[in-house]
A and B are shown apart, each in its own frame.
Chain A
Amino acid sequence: MEPINWHSFFFFLFALVSCAFAVAVVLSSNIVRMAFYLVISLGATAGLFFLAGADFVGAMQLLIYVGGTLVLLVFGVMLTAQGPFVSMKTRGGDWILAAVLSGSLLALLVPAAFTVPEWRRPVANNAPTQVQSTSTPLGLGLLGVRVDKLEERPERLKAGMSSYLLPFEIVSVHLLVVLVGAAYLARTKRRRDVRLESL
């Protein structure tokens, strides 16, 4: 009997958890449970990232996505999950339409993923003895130096395979704008306005 490929084992474990809880998010009608299932699903996705060798992206998924975005989402859920809004059922017609749409999309995507021969099997047994360090090349790439592409010819580098300094700066300003905008949108307003609006 061949030895168990533990990379595949853990891939299937994490993939099963991730997909099952993603489907549970769809099927559940209790908003708090949906939030919790989403947390587990995205946490399992971080495990998938680690298995693919992207340890920095995996840790960032846990830190920012699960530990930041989802906490924000759960806060929002807690603030609005009062009484009748905890469980809201969708009409049957909506479900059927959504199921048809998504079913056709899934039937298109999954066979397409398995069609390309290069994508089906890796070249070697993918249990590496040493995982490459990705954090330093990632950090340097964000600062303007693509140390993973040093072997490329200069013309090719100048022709557009550049680094990510500009997107990095744009994203920083973007986050600042979002911070200011969200704080403004969610500010507490004076009571008089709210009462007038609800009339």
Chain B
Amino acid sequence: MNLMAWQGSIELGIIYGFMALGIFVSFRILNIPDLTVDGSFTLGASCSAIITLAGQPFLGLLAGALAGAIAGLITAFLQTKMKIQPILAGILTMTGLYSINLRIMQKRGNVSLLNIPTVFDPMKQIFGNYAKLLFPLLLIAVVILGMTLFFKTQLGLSIRATGDNEDMVRSSSINADFTKTVGLSLGNAIVGLSGALIAQYQQFSDINMGIGMVVIAMASLIIGEVLLFLGRSLQWHIISVVIGSIFYRLIIMFVLNFNPADRLSSYLANAAEGSFSHHLLSFIIRYGEVSTSDLKLISSIIVGLALSYPVIKDRMEIRKLRKAGEQNAATH
């Protein structure tokens, strides 16, 4: 793991951090699991790629964000006006977007931007070799600041209250349908921006790049909360999400570098031929190497564990109580 790998992971962490911020708005602020993200991420990327091809990379970013906002608007419409369950509404939009994305990319599965100028080229003149790190960092700082301020406005407060207690919101003369629509559009706009940046960063967009993005974003969100968020303030919560995303990429870098063959071979030599541990170790060495194809499984496990943590904790406590009770009964 050299410095380049570290820098690359942090860059990716920041760019995917936008996506995590988008999920933060829908999942944490509005309390809605929004699956549109899988589609709006690719939507942002495909818009950005096509417009970059046409020579307007900055416009590509803007278009990616705008397209994401429209995707969020559609999901919100299905949820609020048509009363479709939030998860299903997201799936409907996401599925429809697959075809739309293919159309945007002119019926090609991927669009390459090799040797095409992206936003990072002009930025090189300002930031030098760190353009790919500093430009997204600057942009995300602006987004974080914007979000922090926005969620303290009257409209922002109303959106936060909608996720907290919809009954209360309606009885305070707030139109909950409207606040949900604004929230979902905002969230998906930030997700679209993330996709738009990624397309230009990795110099291609792919029709399947959005698969599993919801889970990855949630994993980042949860890692950030566990690491930093101490139930304090909104701005810390928002910042912790981005830091979580960076940590997620660093964890992945470490996991990908984990080659069990190197680490376990000495143990294998000590284990007796034919024993259970020998079989187990050689199995792990043979099949255990982690590759990029395992990332989605890892993210799912992280999110699954994090979401089931409260239940697991409860069970453990009950078990402890019961044991203490039995011991008490035995001594008396």
Bound pair: A and B?
A: no
Taking beta carbons and an 8 Å cutoff, which residues of B are in contact with A?
none
Taking beta carbons and an 8 Å cutoff, which residues of A are in contact with B?
none
